[in-house]
Structure 1
Amino acid sequence: MSLRSRFCIAVTAGALTVTAFAGPAVAGDDPGDSRSDFGQSQNHNARLYKGVVTASSLALRSAPNRGGQIIRWAGRGEIVTIFCKTNGQNIQGNRQWYLLADGTWAWGAARYIRTIGTAPRWC
């Protein structure tokens, strides 16, 4: 039986830090279990979501606000992988921000990312 990994996101000295900690094991966590989404390809992973950037250039940040350090830039049409969503700074009437998991953990304003398929879960 494997342990479910959960992530705690913390911003330290302007840098985004991801710390994993083990939680209780639950049914479906075993990668060999056919009910587990860990054993599926990324395209079918229920823990990840997809979105497309609608802004011409979108700053991806270390925190869900415009004051967060810019980690990288995403261009219009770029497909991004979304881990979860949270409320942050209001951007043109939208307070939701997505935590992106595209090699670097960074926050993108949901105002400029259109989800593809299912809406992301809350962080």
Structure 2
Amino acid sequence: MKYLSQIRRGAAVLASAGLLCGVLGSGTAVAAGPTSATEASHGFYKGRVVARVGAPVRTGPSTRFRVVGELRRGGVVAVACKVGGQRVRGNSRWYKLRDGRYTWSRNIANIGPIPRWCHRHHHHR
């Protein structure tokens, strides 16, 4: 029981830290997602924007799709899932964001679990 109590306390501290990060984060970030693997399976994943100058967001998983916004470096975003798309610098993995837009996965550092594939059958282009 003592061990379980320590886990619960640790989870509360991590949850508080996550909320604090959301409050202190960039004003243009998409709302944060889940904080555990269980929540991720039913909701959204979280990631921090690590692109040097901001991450372009597009209407699809390729540089051929139109840019419809930008995520500021350091912001926390909600990721719905990952998809295969255009290969960019050796990586064809893209993230579909909660709002339906896309960004290249290397622009985002996962916070917690790695996002699942969007569809049961994914393909790379």
Please confirm whether the aligned pair reaches a TM-score higher than 0.5, indicating the same fold.
yes
State the Cα distance separating 1:92 from its structure 2 match.
1.5
Match of 2:34 in 1: 43
- Report the aligned-residue RMSD: 1.3
The CA distance in 2 between the partners of 1:115 and 1:43, in whole Å, is 12
- 1:75 is matched with which residue: 59, 72, 75? 72
**Any idea what SS the aligned residue of 1:66 has?**
coil
* Percent identity between the two aligned chains: 35
Moved over 2 A (4+): 42-47
Whose RCO is larger (CA < 8 A, sep 6+)? 2
- TM-score, normalised via structure 1 length: 0.61
Match of 1:114 in 2: 109
State the Cα distance separating 1:75 from its structure 2 match.
1.1
**Any idea what SS the aligned residue of 1:77 has?**
coil
State the Cα distance separating 1:52 from its structure 2 match.
0.8
The CA distance in 1 between the partners of 2:64 and 2:54, in whole Å, is 17
Unpaired runs of at least 5, structure 2: 1-32, 119-125
Match of 2:90 in 1: 93
Unpaired runs of at least 5, structure 1: 1-41
Larger relative strand fraction: 1
1:58 correspondence with 2:49:
no
State the Cα distance separating 1:100 from its structure 2 match.
0.4
Larger relative helix fraction: 2
The CA distance in 1 between the partners of 2:66 and 2:44, in whole Å, is 24
Match of 1:13 in 2: none
Aligned partner letter, 1:105: G
- TM-score, normalised via structure 2 length: 0.60
Match of 1:105 in 2: 100
Match of 1:23 in 2: none
State the Cα distance separating 1:43 from its structure 2 match.
3.4
State the Cα distance separating 1:82 from its structure 2 match.
0.3
